[in-house]
């Protein structure tokens, strides 16, 4: 059931793809704003430069938490691509995310502290929808295993359109895109400086960047699952939806965290209840 080969491929290839996706993201963003933008390889240059810098910290424990963050994020993604249990993947993702939050708390700095609290709010905002997504996929395919869901012949997205929309909504939070980049973002335009990542610099910050690449590839895989019955459509959907996220990012101003949490929950309740209820009754109470 678990495919180690895919896990290894993920560990090796994901940072390359993730970095390129970020590079393309910046290029597309630049074009949307009427700029030329950097090379698509710019994220690699940036991270390379971060690793050449001195590793200055507020305290040593921060580094420990960031290392745990990247290790468990890789673990999450590897488990996902190896075809593991989707719920387990989601819980592992939470574990990884908590380590980043702990790293921010550990610095005991006002800005990273606010960032950490907000990051937790974000987790609280997206977690119900993500769990419901896994449940929806289970109801549609009768399996929690990523391998089975990806190989299904059921048009998953057509069975759980509500859940799909809800998932897309929370995806914006997960990708740290406007309007939900409330705990940190790539753009220095906020009252909380860099939020969660304020107190990280040099190689430590570089690790966080690489983790973000891993996470992006993992999330793209998650989108693919909705379209698993038709691989071509799946790939097209992943590309289109990521471009859509970039468009949202560039056309929206950041909202307050209250709105982020409330709206994600509202959508999770509505999408979850209606979609799951409909599935239950249509499929005859799921035996």
What is the nearest approach in angstroms of another protein to the Cβ of residue 12? 19
Contact with another protein (CB under 8 A) among 67, 151, 239, 247: 67
Residue 6 contacts another protein per CB under 8 A: no
Nearer to another protein, 109 or 252 (CB): 109
- In the three-class reduction of DSSP (H, G, I as helix; E, B as strand; rest coil), residue 85 is classed as strand
Residue 225 contacts another protein per CB under 8 A: no
Half-sphere exposure of 82 (CA within 13 A, CB side): 18
Number of C-beta neighbours around residue 241 at 10 A? 18
Q: Tokens at residue 22, please? A: 């970020």
- Binding map of another protein across residues 142-181, x = CB under 8 A, - = no contact: --x-------------------------------------
Contact with another protein (CB under 8 A) among 266, 277, 282, 283: 277
> Distance of alpha carbon 56 from its chain centroid, rounded?
27
- Binding map of another protein across residues 199-218, x = CB under 8 A, - = no contact: x-------------------
What is the nearest approach in angstroms of another protein to the Cβ of residue 233? 27
Contact with another protein (CB under 8 A) among 61, 143, 154, 250: 61
Residue 116 contacts another protein per CB under 8 A: yes
In this structure, what are the phi and psi dihedrals at residue 145, rounded to the nearest 5 degrees?
-80, 130
Measured distance CA(258)–CA(6) in Å, rounded: 39
Alpha helices in 160-230 (DSSP H): 161-174, 202-225
22-30, 133-141, 171-179, 244-252 -> range binding another protein (CB under 8 A): 133-141
What is the nearest approach in angstroms of another protein to the Cβ of residue 147? 10
Q: Tokens at residue 32, please? A: 């949307």
Measured distance CA(251)–CA(229) in Å, rounded: 32
Measured distance CA(53)–CA(67) in Å, rounded: 18
Nearer to another protein, 117 or 249 (CB): 117
Report in angstroms the alpha-carbon separations of 42 from 24, 185, 194. Answer: 9, 17, 20
- In the three-class reduction of DSSP (H, G, I as helix; E, B as strand; rest coil), residue 145 is classed as strand
Q: Tokens at residue 106, please? A: 């550990």
- In the three-class reduction of DSSP (H, G, I as helix; E, B as strand; rest coil), residue 41 is classed as coil
What is the nearest approach in angstroms of another protein to the Cβ of residue 248? 23
Nearer to another protein, 41 or 280 (CB): 280
- Binding map of another protein across residues 247-266, x = CB under 8 A, - = no contact: ------------------x-
Please name which of 166, 183, 99 lies closest in space to residue 131, comparing C-alpha atoms.
Answer: 166
Contact set with another protein (CB under 8 A): 1-2, 54-61, 63-64, 67-68, 71-72, 75, 79, 84-85, 87-88, 91-92, 94-95, 98, 101-102, 104-113, 116-117, 120-121, 123-125, 127-129, 131-132, 135, 138-139, 144, 193, 198-199, 265, 268-269, 272-273, 276-277, 279-280, 285-286
């Amino acid at each position: 059931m678990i495919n180690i080969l895919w896990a290894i491929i993920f560990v090796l290839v994901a940072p390359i793809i993730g970095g390129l996706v970020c590079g393309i993201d910046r290029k597309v963003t630049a074009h949307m704003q009427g700029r030329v933008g950097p090379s698509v390889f710019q994220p690699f240059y940036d991270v390379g430069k971060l690793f050449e810098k001195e590793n200055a910290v507020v305290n040593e424990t921060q580094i420990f938490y960031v290392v745990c963050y990247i290790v468990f994020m890789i673990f999450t993604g590897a488990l996902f691509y190896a075809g593991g249990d989707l719920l387990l993947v989601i819980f592992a993702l939470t574990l990884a995310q908590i380590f980043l939050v702990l790293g921010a708390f550990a610095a005991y700095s006002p800005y990273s502290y606010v960032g950490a609290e907000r990051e937790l709010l974000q987790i609280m905002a997206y977690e119900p929808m993500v769990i419901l997504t896994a449940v929806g996929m289970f109801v549609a395919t009768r399996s929690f295993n990523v391998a089975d869901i990806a190989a299904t012949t059921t048009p998953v997205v057509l069975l759980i359109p509500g859940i799909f929309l809800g998932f897309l909504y929370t995806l914006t939070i997960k990708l740290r895109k406007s309007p939900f980049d409330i705990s940190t973002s790539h753009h220095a335009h906020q009252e909380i400086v860099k939020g969660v990542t304020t107190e990280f610099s040099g190689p430590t910050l570089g690790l966080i960047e690489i983790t973000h690449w891993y996470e992006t590839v993992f999330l793209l895989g998650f989108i693919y699952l909705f379209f698993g019955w038709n691989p071509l459509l799946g790939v097209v959907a992943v590309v289109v939806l990521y471009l859509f996220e970039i468009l949202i990012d560039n056309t929206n101003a950041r909202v307050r965290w209250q709105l982020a949490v409330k709206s994600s929950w509202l959508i999770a309740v509505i999408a979850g209840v209606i979609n799951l209820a409909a599935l239950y009754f249509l499929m005859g109470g799921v035996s």
